[in-house]
Amino acid sequence: MKPIILSAFILLFLFSCSKDEAPDAIPESINISGKLLAPNNQDPIVNARVSAMQNNILKAETTTDAQGNFTIALEKGEYTLNLAKGLFTTQKQIVVEQETTLDNYKIETLPNIGVITGSFDNIESVLYGIGLVNPITNEPLFDIIDGITTNKNSHISNQEHLHGLNKSSDLESRNPILDPNVSFSYTDLMSDPTLLASYDILFINCSSHSDNPTYEQNLMDYVNNGGFLYVTDWSSSLLNTVTNNDTDYLSFYTPRRSGQSLSTTATILDGNLSAWLLLNFGISINDTVFIDEFLGSWQVVDSYDPTTTISWLNGVVDYRDNNNVTVTENKDLAFTFLLGQGAVFYSSFHTENDEFDFTTTDRIMEYLVFEMTAIE
């Protein structure tokens, strides 16, 4: 009987010990809410990554919604909060003690940006309007490179008059705050791979560019090595090498510059873009948006590869065929695709205003400015 009594005693002892040891308490999670805005401290940033770090260890992560809001669950303690939309970022130190709503945060760390001026496009106005500006001096926080005087003949061709709808020269109407602010020109930049590589993002406004294989190859190398490139309308000729002469990603319609429609009601193909436009600015109806900033003789994209390329918008437009007959057809209008370590954005429409007030098209471009460095 003794072995039986001893075994029972051991079991009783173990059971008593296990009752005395309290189970590990589950740490309490606390919801922390906030909002991320553009550098102008007004426009919400959608689908930005919000990461909470402790000692360089990721503790929790979430994304912002269409109105820039986020909620992240954290235990009590001190955290580094990293908020990023592609290359546009900010970082904050927070102490979590109880459920709370943080102050609105805005993007504070900017990529190095270069803008090449164009004859018919002013993306620099959009960049300025979203807050890429020194609040003390009112100077833009990006380089502006003269892309007009180095790319135009002393006269304006009839086709350029058509494209510009006989408006006054962009050189005359450009806001002086956004005049070129560097000593080198478009030709200097395009011929110097090292200078190109100094920019994280390069915006090339619509202008008339002649084919130049050296410039085209340098741009392709720039993107392959991690650069982000924005190109609109007539500047499409700079993408000849990138697209392998209309074989990869996009193919441009021939005859070139045959677009005729000056506006279209376009279908928005991305849910985040549609929600962002609707909820923040009230300018998206049933996933459509009215675009009226085409100029005469714009460049039509004939087709694109959906396995490699994102299309953002599609609308019914008119363009001329080889026989100068008008064709009415649905066409995709704006695209993003990855190339090597970087990405390219191309649009058949573009901005044309010289003021800092936002048109519908400007809002679309604003969204895509942040989105182009965030696609994966």
Q: What is the mean pLDDT of residues 179-193?
A: 96
Residue 176 tokens read as 């002086």
Instruction: Give residue for tokens 């873009």.
Output: 273
For the chain, strand residue ranges (E) read 30-37, 49-54, 57-63, 69-74, 77-85, 88-96, 100-101, 105-106, 113-116, 143-145, 201-204, 228-232, 250-252, 264-268, 288-291, 301-304, 309-320, 326-339, 342-347
Mean pLDDT of 290-319: 96
Summarize pLDDT for 85-128 with one digit per residue, the tens: 999 999 999 999 999 999 899 999 999 999 999 988 899 999 99
Greater confidence (77 vs 357) lies with: 77
Q: pLDDT of 142-163, one tens digit each?
A: 999 999 876 554 334 445 545 6
pLDDT of residue 169: 43
The confidence score (pLDDT) of residue 157 equals 47
Task: Enumerate residues 6+ apart whose C-beta is below 8 A from 362.
Answer: 125, 126, 129, 351, 353
List the domains of the chain with CATH numbers: 30-106 (2.60.40.10), 113-371 (3.40.50)
pLDDT in tens, 35-47: 999 999 999 999 9
211 vs 288, which has greater pLDDT?
288
Using a pLDDT cut of 70, give the percent of the chain over it. Answer: 85
Under DSSP, the state recorded for 363 is H
Q: What was the pLDDT predicted at 183?
A: 95
The overall average pLDDT reported for the chain is 88
How crowded is residue 223: how many other Cβ atoms within 10 Å of its Cβ? 22
pLDDT in tens, 330-356: 999 999 999 999 999 999 998 876 566
| pTM score of the predicted model | 0.89
Across the range 169-176, mean pLDDT stands at: 56
**Secondary structure (H, E, C), 58-108:** EEEEEECCCCCEEEEEECCEEEEEEEEECCEEEEEEEEECCCEECCCEECC
Tokens of 122: 């002013």
Which tops the pLDDT comparison, 287 or 173? 287
